[in-house]
Each structure stands twice: as structure tokens, then as C-alpha cells.
Amino acid sequence: PQSQFNIEGLTTNLDMEGSTDTSRSQTLFIVRHGDRWDYSHPEWSSTAARPGDPPLSSLGHRQARDVGRYLDEVFARENIHARDITLLSSPFLRCIQTSNELLSEFHKTQGDVAETVSIQPEYSVFELDSKDRGWHASLPTLAERKCYFPRMEEAHESMFVPTLPENRGQFLDRCEDVIRRLNTKYQHPDGECTTTTITDAAAAGGSVAQQQPRVIVIVTHAAGCVAMAKSASGKELQDINPAPPCGIYRLDRVSDSEAWDIDHYSKEGGMNGYKDHLGDVGVTTKGWNNFGDDKVNNGYTGPPGNTSFILHK
């Protein structure tokens, strides 16, 4: 039930700055997609036409709706209007489905979020290439996606399209580039728009909008959640909690600073891989922060002592 949601943790970054004036804040929410169908039904990929692009499971759809109800509570509380929201999504099906489900759950936020906020397919935040382009070869055209997800803005121009194949180190560099370009393209709404910033934004693959968003939501994959939270906050991998299905990372800034604030990984109820909004986390889609050598603790690179994720595969 919405009344049971614990939304106090969502303002902790601002509290650390000594202020709860969210009207001056620009907020970045990085959200992992929900539980995957193929993890519960491994036989699916052997007959699927696009085995690298699995859908959400029934649980994954429920988790995505949990995210939407939760964010709706937060945005209503912080006086966010539909026009203040930009939603970017990886073009993989599980991310588009997660985005679509969460938007459907907005009822309290000012403006008609479900009808006016579009899903902008952003290729720069798509999945880490771990299969020598095998997963990415399954992606359909955006025109085909649009047929089934009318909220999707087919004309959206991605900040850039990554070059594949890539290793984990190159992926981390890619996410650094994503955050640099995002900071330029989606400036703090109180920042001054100068000729220099307009030129920089064009070079980053876009243009400065007339009204910059107060809230940016990125729906992506586990690796992208961890790497972008790391890059945006300027912290290390071991400072970022593993990304659970439909986990949320909240980062805030009060100016055009390149660094965003994030809760410490040990903070109770903190927004560093938050999952308390979920009715069911599930058991097949695990938390992930595994950028290291697979032969050592399965490559786990998250906070020390978090042994529940070390054996994840």
C-alpha cells in the first residue's frame, strides 16, 4: 500500500547538505529493470527469435509498478510537475517495459505524467556487452518498438551510440562519458544558458532545451546503474551497493556541478541501491556489482562485507 512507503530516505542527500529545499535541487534517479523472464525460464532463450532481448517476468512487471507508485509519492511530496521530468531508457525490452509500467502508476504527481512523459530510448545506457555483441544483435528497430509502446519517443536522438564489442573497463569509461554528456545536455534548471554551454551540448549529441528537467530518470541495467552512480558521484565501485532488480539510486545536485551527491552505502534506508519499495525482490535476478576478475569472489567489486552478493552469477 502506498501509505506504507518509506520515503524519508529519498531526501537524505539534501539533508546532508543542511537543506530540505528540494525546489532548487536537480535529481537523477537511476533505476534497474525488473526481474527477467529468462532467469526463471532458462529454456526460453533456446527457442526465442531474439534470445538476447528477454522480457520481464510477471514479478518484474509488479516490481516496475512498485517503482512507479513509489516515485509518484516522492514527486508529489517534492512538488515535481510532469513537465519537470525526463525519462531515458535503455532500448532493451525489459527496460522499455519497466519504464512503461512505472509511468502507468503515476496518479498524484502534478500534471498528467502517464499521458505526457515519454520514454526516450537512449542507446548510450544500454547493456554491457558481455556476449561479443550477441545480446545487442537481438534489438529490433525503434519503429517496431514504437508499435507496442506508443509512449516511446522514436525521434529521440541518443547522446551517442556505443562502439561494440567492449570489455568491462571500456564499459566503465562509456558510463563516464554518459555522465559528462548528461551534465551538459540536461543542465541544472537554475543554471545560466550561455553560448558556450549551447555549443558544448550540441557537441555532446543534443541541444540545450528551453526548460531543463528538475528530475532525470534513467532506466537501465545492473552494470549501468552501478557504473553511472559511480561516475556521477565521483566515488569508487566499492562505494556503490549492488543493483537489485528495480533498485533505485538517487543522486542530487543544487547547481551545475559535475558531481552529484549520493547516500553512503551503509546508510539505513539510503538511496544507494534502494529496494525497500519492492513488495518482492525475488530470487532469480540478483543484485550485481561484479566488475572484477570472475575467478576472485565472482568478480565482486561492491562495498566490503556485503557477502550476500559475492556468489552471484
Strand 215-220 vs strand 26-32: parallel, antiparallel, or unpaired? parallel
d(C-alpha 83, C-alpha 70), whole Å: 19
Tell me how many degrees the CA angle 193-228-217 measures, rounded to the nearest 5: 65
Q: What is the pLDDT of residue 306?
A: 67
Q: Residue 193: pLDDT above 70?
A: no
Q: What is the pLDDT of residues 102-140, one digit of tens each?
A: 999 999 999 999 999 999 999 999 999 977 887 899 999
What SS3 state is found at 53? coil
d(C-alpha 27, C-alpha 84), whole Å: 10
Q: What is the pLDDT of residue 168?
A: 95
Query: What residues contact residue 32 under an 8 Å CB cut-off, 6+ apart?
Result: 219, 220, 221, 222, 225, 243, 244, 245, 246, 247
pTM above 0.85, yes or no: yes
Q: What is the pLDDT of residues 28-67, one digit of tens each?
A: 999 999 999 999 999 999 999 999 999 999 999 999 999 9
What SS3 state is found at 75? helix
8 Å CB contact between 49 and 77: no
Q: What is the pLDDT of residues 219-278, one digit of tens each?
A: 999 999 999 999 999 999 999 999 999 999 999 999 888 889 999 999 999 999 999 999
